[in-house]
Amino acid sequence: MRYLRFVFTVLWASAAVATPWALLFSFPTPTSNPRGYDDFLYGVVADGPTPYVYRFTGTQGSIYSSFPAPGGSGAWGLGSYQSYLYIGNYSTSWIYKTTLGGSLISSFKCPLGGPADFDIGSYPGFPPYYVLHIAFPDLGIIGVVNQNTGSLIATFAAPGPRPLSYEDGLGTHNTCGDGVTHKVYEDMVPVLDVDAAVGLDKVYTTNGIPSDLTIVDDSTDRVYWYTNNTVVTPASLGRVKALFR
């Protein structure tokens, strides 16, 4: 979830659809093999012999900075909070904490093998934005992990058999992309057809309603930006959105 940032978005009318999500625009990822997305950072982590994190303009995809992701090949998962970010590695199961510029702060071995995309969220009994909600494709579950110690707090079943990405909505509006059903689920209900949603994130209004959903699809190497047309009416030509984390 996003916070402490404002984005001005120009919206256009779209035809009624069965899902509340209507596509606004899309653009290519900076390179192939995207493996995670973060909306606050406006960034994608891309895997390769030397994986990179790319930061770009939110609506056009123009790169304005990049840096190598720590851990080598196998990068998957990207999330940020305040002045730092987390980068995961599916192959080694390590999670790295870095500055927004990529300088390594700390790291820990994930308590379960094969972490994919994740989100920094909350869990009962813990301070807000203290835990990572991580998709584990090979296990079919979402794991809740202490972002400081790396200890496992809880697990729960994903809505599909192979979760690739997960976004925590602080108790509601939780979103998950699945690589077998090729669906994106919101609160366990399929809302979009996406081949390989390897990364996703949301923007929320001031009253906690999801207003925008951004998905990175590995099958097309594109970023897709959707708007919630039950929140934003076709008459809207522009608005300010408070982003919460």
| pLDDT confidence of residue 20 | 87
Q: Quick one: tokens of 145?
A: 């992990």
pLDDT given for residue 61 in this prediction: 83
- The answer to whether the CB of 243 falls within 8 A of the CB of 4 is yes
Where exactly are the structural domains of the chain? 26-202
| Predicted local distance difference test score (pLDDT) of residue 245 | 36
DSSP designation for 181 = T
Per-residue pLDDT of the chain (245 residues; tens, 9 = 90+): 443 333 323 332 233 335 789 999 999 999 999 999 998 888 999 999 999 999 988 777 889 899 999 999 999 999 998 899 999 999 999 999 999 999 999 999 999 999 999 999 989 999 888 899 999 999 999 999 999 899 999 999 999 999 999 999 877 889 999 999 999 999 999 999 999 999 999 988 878 888 999 999 999 999 999 999 887 544 333 333 333 33
Q: Which two tokens stand for residue 141?
A: 């579950």
pTM (whole model) above 0.75: yes
Structure tokens at 111: 């308590």
For 9-34, the three-class secondary structure string (H helix, E strand, C coil) is ECCCCCCCCCCCEEEEEEEECCCCCE
Q: What is the Cα–Cα distance from 128 to 117, expressed in whole angstroms?
A: 19
Per CATH, which fold does 26-202 belong to?
A: Neuraminidase (2.120.10)
Distance CA 235, CA 245 (A): 28
Closest CA to 223 of 6, 44, 67: 44
Q: Residue 209: its pLDDT value, please?
A: 87
Please give the pLDDT value at position 232. 53
Give residue 129's region: left, alpha or beta (phi > 0; psi -120 to 50): left
How far is residue 188's CA from residue 213's CA, in Å, rounded to a whole number?
16
Query: Tell me: the pLDDT tens digits for 92-132?
Result: 999 999 999 999 999 999 999 999 999 999 899 998 888 99
